[in-house]
Amino acid sequence: MELVDSHCHLPLIESATRTVSDFVEAAHAAGVTHMLCVSVDLESFPRVAEVAAAHAGVFASVGVHPNTEIHCEEPSIARLVTASEQLKIVAIGETGLDYYRQTGDLGWQQARFRTHIRAAIDCGRPLIVHTRDAAADVIRILREEHAEQAGGVMHCFVDDWDTASAAMDLGFYISFSGIVTFKSAKALQAVARQVPAERLLVETDSPWLAPVPHRGKQNEPAFVGHTAEFLANLRGEAAAVLAQTTRSNFFNLFTAALQ
């Protein structure tokens, strides 16, 4: 069974004992043929781009995470568009809003989010959207900025059906991480049951959020199969079918434009 990991942070899982190449090899050995290595700031973007360039089956994005605040280079539309032209850069993000980890006046987060959406439309790349405790503002800004012109994915989705549905109306995909395998995630599991197969993606968001049975340990792309199998059971689908569907969704969203 072949799978893809639609969202991981390979440079962040590297350690003294295991390199990025080791993690990519382990993923390939587990049937995870492709993965998207997601950028969180411009300072570390060169490393993210290098990881993609150096490894078969690894693509990358460019963007600045909504929580990256102090001492970071604030992205401009031109800077993102130029970076997106590098080899194997298939998306803009991760971007979005996170009102959980930061509070107060978050106008700067919203402005940064708008910059990413405009860049994605300019360069014809899809968006990787991170949202936490901010669903209403995320959907409002996606609509105001006409994000349907870029499309994209709601990554590590944890919100309700109305949010999923509003995002899908804008042409977005819904990506589930290991969170959906947690016992406490009943409401999220109900949403995951309803998302049409042609809009479904799976991810690890590694090094965080390892799925059951690795919950609490460091996550890695090789573990995405646990989430895929859980989702298949939940939806009453064969695991091989769900694997195939999420793979073709991944290629439709991220790499169809490259061919």
Binding site for Zn ion (CB under 5 A): 94, 130, 205
Give kind and range of the element (H or E) at residue 79.
helix 77-84
Closest separation between CB of residue 101 and Zn ion, Å?
11
Closest separation between CB of residue 98 and Zn ion, Å?
8
Closest separation between CB of residue 39 and Zn ion, Å?
9
Closest CB to Zn ion: residue number = 130
| Cβ-based nearer residue to Zn ion, 41 or 94 | 94
| Cβ-based nearer residue to Zn ion, 145 or 205 | 205
| Cβ-based nearer residue to Zn ion, 38 or 166 | 38
- Number of C-beta neighbours around residue 94 at 10 A: 27
Closest separation between CB of residue 241 and Zn ion, Å?
27
**Region of 152 on the Ramachandran plot (φ > 0 left; ψ -120 to 50 alpha; else beta):** left
Residue 129: which of 103, 184, 166, 102 has the closest Cα? 166
Full strand arrangement of the beta sheet holding 127-132: 3-8, 32-37, 58-62, 89-98, 127-132, 152-154, 172-176, 200-202
Closest separation between CB of residue 228 and Zn ion, Å?
18
180: DSSP letter = G
- Cα(53)–Cα(47) distance, rounded to whole angstroms? 10
Is-cis flag, bond preceding 207, omega within 30? Answer: yes
- Cα(56)–Cα(28) distance, rounded to whole angstroms? 10
| Cβ-based nearer residue to Zn ion, 93 or 232 | 93
| Cβ-based nearer residue to Zn ion, 34 or 232 | 34
> What are 217's two structure tokens?
């340990």
Closest separation between CB of residue 236 and Zn ion, Å?
29
- Cα(108)–Cα(225) distance, rounded to whole angstroms? 37
Closest separation between CB of residue 133 and Zn ion, Å?
13
Axis-axis angle for helices 161-169, 186-194 (nearest 10): 30
| Cβ-based nearer residue to Zn ion, 95 or 232 | 95
| Cβ-based nearer residue to Zn ion, 55 or 130 | 130
> What are 27's two structure tokens?
């993923």
